[in-house]
Structure formats: structure tokens, C-alpha cells
Amino acid sequence: MSTATYTVKGMTCGHCVSSVKEEVGEVAGVTGVEVDLASGLLTVDSDGPVDPAKIVAAVEEAGYEVVTS
């Protein structure tokens, strides 16, 4: 099992969180998604490594942005 964290920018409400969870949850290999609205933290659990670009694309599909360092 693998866990990765990302910071999502632009979420302001519970609907935002639901949108991100739904899109990221559809990425192949993802087994769990947690989103913390206050911190913008997105935690993704998966069976194995998932291409971060797929997670970023899913967040963007939901209408938000992943903060890259």
C-alpha cells in the first residue's frame, strides 16, 4: 500500500471537497481519498505507486489546482 499527499488550492466549501474526492477516487489504483478543507491537504491511498500526473489531472478536472513546491 502506498500513500501520497498533495496540497490543493482553491477549495472553499464542502462541495469543493466532494468534487476533488470524486475525481481523484476515479483514478486507477486509488483505494482511498481524504481531503482536509482547512489545510487543503489531499491524502491518496493506493495499492501501489500512482503517477502523480494522474492525480494532478484529476484535481484539475474537479476545477482546482495542486500546489507544487
Do residues 44 and 7 lie in contact, with contact meaning Cβ atoms separated by under 8 Å? no
Give, as one character, the DSSP assignment of residue 26: T
The domain ranges of the chain are 2-67
Q: Is the pTM of this model over 0.85?
A: yes
pLDDT at 27: 97
pLDDT of residue 6: 97
> Does pLDDT of 69 surpass 70?
no
Q: What is the DSSP letter of 21?
A: H
Distance between terminal CA atoms of the chain?
A: 25
Three-class DSSP category at 10: coil
Indicate the DSSP class of residue 39: T
- When the candidates are 1.20.1540.10, 3.40.50.150, 3.30.70.100, 3.40.190.10, the CATH number that belongs to 2-67 is 3.30.70.100
